[in-house]
Amino acid sequence: MKSVGVLISGRGSNLQALLDAQDAPGAYRIVRVISNVEGALGLERARAAGIDALTIPHQGKPREAFERELDAALQGCDLVALAGFMRVLSPWFVTAWSGRVLNIHPSLLPSFPGRDTHERALAAGVKLHGCTVHVVTEALDAGPIIGQAAIPVLRDDTPELLAARLLDAEHLLYPRALAAFAKGEAALLEKPLLSAWT
């Protein structure tokens, strides 16, 4: 079973999905949750589950100093899962944790990397939107894809409605993808996880 450190910046809904599912697959165990934002709701979720939770603020620090603190706090973890962590990791950190950092991104990559994915999807007129779990590399949102889940774009969707509906898919996808990756079975995920939830 792989030990996992989770990095968050906010409410931690994907963290909660990972926590709720960790016993079922028996593939990973969350041992530490770190936020770069003081008072993030996700820290309370972690503490309620008996998980070590701490804040490492990034404000007022050189990027490398902040990431070296993260690196030190994550020692003992086999994998790192980004769950709403609103910082782009530097090449130094990605290299130090090469092949061991996963992220969930709210689009069907390679479409719409970066921010404002829901607005951009609607503006492009796509009929399917979704989320992607991928390995973090130096190139933004361009690492190997572990799994994807798709939902239909509805006629009356707004960015807010689309984002809210997509969360259900994210909460199903991320635990399965993390478990499969932890067990070395990520290649098996492609077909069963590319499906539509309404």
Residues with a catalytic annotation lie at 105
3-state secondary structure (DSSP) of residue 62: coil
- Write out the two tokens for 86: 């609103």
Residue 97 DSSP symbol: T
Tell me phi and psi for residue 48, to 5 degrees. Answer: -65, -25
**Could you tell me which of 109, 98, 169, 116 has the C-alpha nearest to residue 134?**
109
Number of DSSP helices (H) and strands (E) in the chain, helices first? 7, 7
